[in-house]
Amino acid sequence: MLEGLSIFLDELTRWNAKINLTGLKSRERIIHELLLDCFVPIPFLPEQGTLLDVGAGAGFPGLVLKICSPSLCVSLLEPNGKKATFLRHVTRLCGLKQIQVIQARAAPGARDLASEGYHVVTARALAGLEETLTFCAPWVMEGGLFVSFQGADAAARLETCRPLLNASGLVLIKNLAYPVPGKAEERHALIFRRGA
């Protein structure tokens, strides 16, 4: 796992110098502000099953979760060609199996990637919570989890989205607040379950 994360960070730093994969340029800031987020929901995720990361970007959290949980079968959905190429490159370098990069845009209400849905769907910095729920909820299978990363205003966003949550059958089961080194405000990893 440590070797895979090291390869990922090395390549991200190298590519990021030429292509804007993330707005953060220093390795330390990438670790503190992007990588550490990915570890927060891991204890609540299944060891096996399927995971879809919507708007995978530079690999946070989907690629990191795959490196940390190699038994998960992971799909990374990313519309940007350069980012998708980067994700495929790191996947090859790390020798990861049961992972695919899908270069496509998420569409509200779409469900054609896996007709039965996914055990886990993740989204980080995709859009506001309401839009993220609209995009991601259809892909969560019955009994599956949806993980959304939010800022300090998570409680207010949740209240605004209550009708949408009720309509989609998603129930908040964990609101994990955590600090970010060098930042005054906490972040939140919201974990929802569909149905039972």
Per-residue pLDDT tens over the stretch 15-74: 998 988 998 888 998 999 899 999 999 999 998 999 999 999 999 999 999 999 999 999
Q: What is residue 55's predicted lDDT score, i.e. its pLDDT?
A: 92
Query: Token digits for 65?
Result: 């979760």
- The residue type found at 166 is N
Rg of the chain in Å (alpha carbons):
16
Strand pairing of 118-124 and 49-54?
parallel
Quick one: residue 181, left, alpha or beta (phi over 0 = left, psi -120 to 50 = alpha)? beta
Contacts of 1 by beta carbon, 8 Å cutoff, 6+ apart: 67, 68
User: What is the span of the domain harbouring residue 34?
Assistant: 2-194
CATH number at residue 75: 3.40.50.150
Above 90 in pLDDT, residue 184?
Answer: no
- Residue count of the chain, please give it: 196
Is the CB of residue 120 less than 8 Å from the CB of residue 143? Answer: no
The residue type at 9:
L
pLDDT at 156 over 70: yes
Number of domains in the chain: 1
Q: What pLDDT does 40 receive?
A: 95
Q: Which helix (H) or strand (E) holds 136?
A: helix 129-136
Spell out the residues 6+ positions from residue 89 whose beta carbon is closer than 8 angstroms to its own: 11, 15
